[in-house]
Structure 1
Amino acid sequence: MDSTLLQQTPLQPDPGIGSGQARTPLALKIFGALLVVGGALLIPEVVLVWLAVGQEFVKGSFSDESVLTIILSLVLTAAVCFAIVSSVILGIRLLRGKRRRARLLAESMAIALVVAFACDLMLFGINEGLWALGAAALVLVVAHVFVDPSLSDERELQRRLRLMETREEMEEGTLGLDKSGSGFIELDFFNLFWIFVIASVAGVVIESVYHVLVVDFGHYEDRAGLLWGPFSPIYGFGALLMTLALNRFHNAPIAVVFLVSAVIGGAFEYFVSWFMEYAFGAVAWDYTGTFLNINGRTNFMFMCMWGALGVVWVKLALPALLHTVNLIPWRWRYSITAVCAVLMIFNGVMTLVALDCWYSRLAGVAPDNALEQFCAEHFDNQWMENRFESMSINPDAAHRSS
């Protein structure tokens, strides 16, 4: 390594780096105070909801058909309660300057909010509470970058070493690898976001080719899963699950990778099918009558396909993807990622809104606000049928409580 660069970029010990307690910014302390106050104000409301649900159980006023609704309500309340308690704990830790474990709390809260979001959507469709949960999740994603001092320390080190180690890693194509050796790649937002995007595009290509060559030879069908762009989010989220589950086992035998991928892929496909039908009465695939199918939501053949995709993904695609992502110039990579993430989130939110409005129109509910009117004008039933050709919606098949 060039000694001149070392002289020009001295690496003096920085008190507080890695300490987890020093140099907590004032903005984070204010954020911590807001978490404590907001969480404390919401606790009584959650307690009242739990008491109301408990009374329903005591009275036995729910029918057999509503058991699943009660379960989802309990899960929703439990997830929100966990997020609230965690927010109070996280806020106290930030106020005390203890940031190292705060990252784990923020990640746990984010998972709880995702669970609450899914349950809320299935129970009530698009509503004000859903927007609140989504906003809270976005705040956590942003705060996650600043909560852990190791991240700010990393930015400082990157600034100091950008002419040395970082440039060498870029040239060698090793930027983003897990240097601890516990996994193949670093499971940071940057890597996971581009895994989701690239896998979503690849999923559309795979689905389209399979439909043209196998399902209905010569007939093209739009297999996209979002309003705009060639994205199939089920493959994007499936790739994320594969990566998170198999990152530590990238050197495992192919049979192990295949089996784990098949189970994860089949379970994920089953859950997505159930979720879409419960929330929107939507059916995008039905494997009823096929070999070893499970309620028509997944079957043996497609679980094997998930297994094969998992092997290809872990053994071949993931290294190639990491190399491709490293082609993004260092100076641009985070700004490009931030812009693309905002656009992708907007695309996903508008897709859920459009599906909810499509469901409402088929259920005979007239648009009653500006957003629903916008969807009725720009994403009417015919437009949605053409965009989501493989999907059909039957409001009677949904199980919303309202």
Structure 2
Amino acid sequence: MVDADHTFVIVGAGLAGAKAAETLRSEGFTGRVILIGDERDHPYERPALSKGFLLGNEERDSVFVHPAAWYAEHDVELHLGQPVTGLDRAARRITLGDGTSIPYDRLLLTTGAEPRRLDIPGTDLVGVHHLRRLAHAERLKNVLTSLGRENGHLVIAGAGWIGLEVAAAARGYGVEVTVVEPQPCPLHSVLGPELGEVFADLHREHGVRFHFGARLTEITGQDGMVMSVLTDDGEEHPAHQVLAAIGAAPRTALAEAAGLVLADRAAGGGIAVDASLRTSDPDVFAAGDVANAEHPLLGGRLRVEHWANALNSGPVAARAMLGKDVLYDRVPYFFTDQYDLGMEFSGHAAPGTYDQVLARGDMGKRQFIAFWLREGRVLAGMNVNVWDVTDTVQKLIRSGRRVDTDALADPTVPLASLLE
């Protein structure tokens, strides 16, 4: 029996929101749980959109967080296809796009992020894509299938994780791929030049063409269709389709309009929350891509857009809403699969924060673990085609201890021994 005297509302029906709703019920909350999303699909997980589903290896139904019937079975009121247009914190009430007003006792914002747009001529042409939602992935999957049959060209703006994963998928369909990236190598702001070239070489071996040190300035077309792209160094590349993969921006409009404190853009933007994921309003919480949290382990603020953050921060926020004494101190984690390369990354090592990068294993064979260190302490680790080491890597990061770098780089020395 639901206790209608207490209402917890979750705005954002993605992975973080769905896992928060699940946690509220598993923790014994008997009040109303209302989960609101502006998409018409049930909550789903995003990694497959640029990996297994896009490649055709996973079925559409595999991406959903819960079966459709789960929400009614657990008394979670699910509002789909409904944007939230207003948040009145004084009245503790939200307004939906259709004018419905819903009161809350506690509110969780899991509004996520949205793809950044190319601000250049030609983006209104047919054949310009973004990849963030399930509908985007379905359309892009059909596009890649067609391009592969016709030996068509795809230009990708951006050599980040999404850009590279789509490049790998496109090559699997037989599509000609050119990636335009302003940095000197892929993933430069994430992995630095030391490891970015590993991914450049991988993609070149599979036929991807890179154009580094350049940005798109125009998408040209004919009869309303994409025909080519121009770059700021005067180059022209043929293109039948274009994917903008230049990052994502946190969806903070609702929070900003309601007067919640936001994090500085230089620190990643998003809604500023404490280590318990509480915003500047004690009755409002935020989790997932949109939350910029004080991190007890790493120090300072951090906004993380990856799957594991949504998976783990939603439940922590739910417990905090229930008044439990919780902290969100997970080591950041993400993974990728590209061709025959599988990778897991743990930690945080922004450019300028580390003074050494070393690897154990064979980088040439793409079977190694890389470490980013500062003053002999491990800040982050990336295992490439090496498995069952993530827990140990994360323990090294958590320990904060100085390590013997010679032993760290030596694959004959058990990694766990460095914790003894």
More helix by share: 1
TM-score range, shorter-chain basis? under 0.3
> What TM-score comes out, normalization by structure 1 length?
0.25
TM-score by length of 2: 0.25
Higher relative contact order (CA 8 A, sep 6+): 1
Structure whose CA Rg is larger: 1
